Chain A
Amino acid sequence: AQKVTQAQTEISVVEKEDVTLDCVYETRDTTYYLFWYKQPPSGELVFLIRRNSFDEQNEISGRYSWNFQKSTSSFNFTITASQVVDSAVYFCALSESLNTGFQKLVFGTGTRLLVSP
């Protein structure tokens, strides 16, 4: 069965520090998608990125960057120059193909990031 491991339960940094959130996954699918979602203190789940298994190029969006490595089954997320507004719980998720043709999302347990001023 698919599995997503976010070993870091909580990370505390000071503003302007860089921080990397780790995500390791297990899958038997040859084609799959990986996601990151952000859950700020207000509670909503905000989509950040979707990456398919055939695209190992790193992605950068502003202060956010993602490093996808199939060789190590990892999809790590780095925030550069962190800000207080980055404080949230971040979830990594993996698609799991079902017999119905639907791809279910398997979520990790989340990493709580606390950025202090």
Chain B
Amino acid sequence: DAGVIQSPRHEVTEMGQEVTLRCKPISGHDYLFWYRQTMMRGLELLIYFNNNVPIDDSGMPEDRFSAKMPNASFSTLKIQPSEPRDSAVYFCASSFSSGGWTDTQYFGPGTRLTVL
């Protein structure tokens, strides 16, 4: 079975450029999460969706960050304009809900973003 798919795996861009990260969750999962991992702050939850609807974006650091989920099999995280401090590994994860509980989150391979 295919796991969570993310693209690109690596992205190098210059400050001020727009960056779009992509994610395909595991089929059948109704929750999708975007995380950011840095040495200083560890793993941070940025935003999560349930049935394609954004539920909580309180972790999104600034208005420069936006996320969409147009359908059950695709989500994007966009940074516009990008800044060097956005350099991090961005993970997408998905899970399904059962019995009122959100089940195990399965993570994609991550996108390593470097903003010069």
Partner-B contacts on A (CB < 8 A): 33, 35, 37, 42-47, 50, 91, 95, 98, 100-105, 107, 109-110
A-B contact pairs, 5 of them (CB 8 A): A33-B101, A35-B104, A46-B107, A102-B31, A102-B48
Q: Given A44-B109, A98-B56, A102-B50, are A50 and B104 also a contact pair (CB < 8 Å)?
A: yes
Partner-A contacts on B (CB < 8 A): 31, 42-43, 45, 48, 50, 55-56, 89, 91, 93, 100-102, 104-110, 112
Q: Identify whether the interface residues of B are mostly helix, strand, loop, or mixed.
A: strand
Contact B112 A44 (CB under 8 A): no
A101's partner among B45, B48, B100 (CB-CB below 8 A) is B100
A43's partner among B43, B93, B102, B109 (CB-CB below 8 A) is B109
- Can you name 5 extra interface pairs (CB under 8 A) apart from A44-B108, A95-B102? A43-B89, A98-B56, A100-B56, A102-B31, A107-B43
Contact B45 A105 (CB under 8 A): yes
Contact B110 A105 (CB under 8 A): no
Chain B residues within 8 Å of A103, by CB: 101-102
- Identify which of B31, B93, B101 gathers the most chain A CB atoms within 10 Å of its CB: B101
B107: min CB distance to chain A, Å: 4
